[in-house]
């Protein structure tokens, strides 16, 4: 971010060069390819001598504008926009990892990231070791001579456990590892991992960035020389973000700060409400003083985030009964929407994991994840209260 522009301003005051119409809002460039005024210029562009846009699998004015904005907000040098969060996660790994390489990863990663690490990368001879997010002082012992990348999420899904980003950055630096963090749950408004030495920051634009449950998208941003490799990988394997989705997500980022402030304020109130409920065993929210890493949360996050998880007493049967009584809120596996969404990770997002794998990342049978929306929080609390009875 430029030194004199605050986050909110940078998210709003970025403009594509205006066309002859002098439009106020950025126009949408729905075109697969671009033309050249001469054969020489076309040849020069293909030779890499000019920066002209060639083809939307490579780049497009709308995806370029979104990338610039996310780089500004994440304080990153360069980036690439992909069709989904998972294509961003995959590209951030596949662009670097070679047969024989090893990844040190937090155990608490997104379900499909877990599938990439355990089912897909091993096919190409890439191995991994899982470590506990809240035990970072023990991670160093698991670094091997062939460890190339450090992968983590903070806060994690769905347990909302944190990794100490300062320590993660120091460890990656000491052992020359690529520090790759999925910052989807926090968003750059709440936490900017590059400040702690992250080399690659990955996002699902599908979640809080769009924030309205409309499109899929992903981004990888980070150090310029690393993004060169991500760009090469993506340009030739083809997971480009559609210009329409880039246009929409960029527009949504204009309101990211105000939306996240309210999401977090609502989440904080809901977490406090849940803590006092007799049907509830435990509530997890980084900015509750009962969170085991509360002090760390306050050090590295601006707010507690828009997700709250809690454990209902009575395991799966009570979790199902509770969800069936929900009237206003939505039952869905998504998150980061204006609408409050409830999920039961054991039977949905994490059902492919073995029971012991789930328990190792804190997914107990009664765990419910709530993505807190922008409805009036009293209406949300009332809905959850009547369902808990
Ligand atoms: C949703 C999500 C992803 C995947 O994003 P898609 O856009 O659904 O592909 C990756 N990481 C985290 C933390 C997510 O919440």
Ligand 1 binding pocket mutation candidate from 81, 85, 248 (most atoms within 8 A of CB): 85
Pocket-testing residue among 184, 341, 348, ligand 1, by greatest number of atoms within 8 A of Cβ: 184
pLDDT score of 2: 56
pLDDT value for 62:
97
C-alpha 229: how far from its chain's center?
20
Q: Which of 226, 287, 228, 265 is nearest to 373 (CA)?
A: 265
372 prior amide bond cis, ω within 30? no
Which of 84, 87, 110, 249 to mutate for ligand 1's pocket (most ligand atoms within 8 Å of CB)?
110
Give residue 50's pLDDT: 86
Residue 135: name the closest of 111, 168, 174 by CA.
168
Our answer on whether the CB atom of 274 is closer than 6 Å to any ligand 1 atom is: no
Sorted by where each starts, the structural domains of the chain and their CATH numbers stand as 7-253 (3.40.640.10), 256-388 (3.90.1150.10)
| Three-class SS state of 292 | coil
Is 182 touching ligand 1 by the criterion CB < 6 Å? Answer: yes
**pLDDT < 70: residue spans in the chain:** 1-3
What is the pTM (predicted TM-score) of this model?
0.96
110 CA distance to ligand 1 middle (Å): 7
- Phi, psi at 180, each rounded to 5°: -115, 115
Nearest CA owner, ligand 1 atom 4: 85
pLDDT of 3: 60
What integer pLDDT is reported at residue 349 of this predicted model?
A: 86
* Atom number of ligand 1 nearest to Cα 206: 7
Length of the chain measured in residues: 389
- Is 153 close to ligand 1, i.e. is its CB under 6 Å away? yes
Q: What is the pLDDT of residue 353?
A: 83
Ligand 1 pocket, residue 337 CB under 6 Å: no
Token pair 């009875």: residue: 389
Q: How far is the CA of 135 from the centre of ligand 1 (A)?
A: 24
pLDDT at 128: 98
């Amino acid at each position: 971010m430029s030194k004199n522009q605050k986050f909110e301003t940078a998210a709003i005051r970025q403009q594509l060069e205006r066309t002859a119409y002098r439009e106020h809002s950025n126009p949408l460039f729905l075109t697969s390819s671009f033309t050249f005024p001469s054969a020489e210029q076309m040849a020069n562009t293909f030779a890499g001598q000019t920066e002209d846009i060639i083809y939307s699998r490579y780049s497009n004015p709308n995806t370029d504008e979104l990338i610039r904005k996310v780089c500004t907000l994440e304080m990153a040098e360069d980036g690439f926009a992909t069709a989904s969060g998972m294509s961003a996660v995959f590209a951030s790994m596949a662009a670097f990892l070679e047969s024989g390489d090893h990844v040190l990863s937090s155990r608490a990663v997104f379900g499909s990231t877990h599938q990439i690490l355990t089912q897909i990368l091993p096919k190409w001879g890439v191995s991994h070791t899982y470590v506990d997010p809240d035990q970072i002082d023990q991670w160093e012992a698991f670094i091997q001579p062939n460890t190339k990348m450090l992968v983590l999420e903070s806060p994690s899904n769905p347990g909302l456990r944190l990794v100490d980003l300062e320590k993660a950055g120091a460890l990656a630096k000491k052992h020359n590892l690529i520090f790759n963090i999925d910052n989807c749950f926090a968003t750059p408004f709440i936490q900017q991992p590059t400040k702690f030495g992250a080399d690659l920051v990955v996002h699902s634009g599908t979640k809080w960035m769009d924030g309205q449950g409309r499109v899929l998208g992903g981004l990888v941003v980070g150090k310029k020389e690393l993004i060169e490799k991500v760009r090469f990988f993506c340009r030739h394997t083809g997971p480009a973000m559609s210009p329409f989705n880039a246009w929409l997500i960029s527009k949504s980022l204009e309101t990211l700060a105000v939306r996240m402030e309210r999401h977090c304020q609502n989440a904080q109130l809901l977490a406090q409400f849940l803590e006092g409920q007799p049907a509830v065993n435990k509530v997890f929210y980084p900015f509750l003083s009962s969170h085991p890493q509360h002090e760390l949360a306050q050090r590295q996050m601006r707010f507690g985030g828009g997700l709250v998880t809690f454990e209902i007493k009575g395991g799966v049967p009570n979790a199902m009964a509770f969800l069936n009584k929900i009237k206003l809120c939505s039952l869905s596996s998504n998150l980061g929407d204006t609408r409050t969404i409830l999920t039961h990770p054991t039977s949905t997002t994490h059902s492919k994991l073995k029971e012991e794998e789930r328990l190792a990342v804190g997914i107990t049978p009664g765990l419910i994840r709530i993505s807190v929306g922008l409805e009036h929080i009293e209406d949300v609390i009332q809905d959850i209260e009547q369902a808990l009875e």
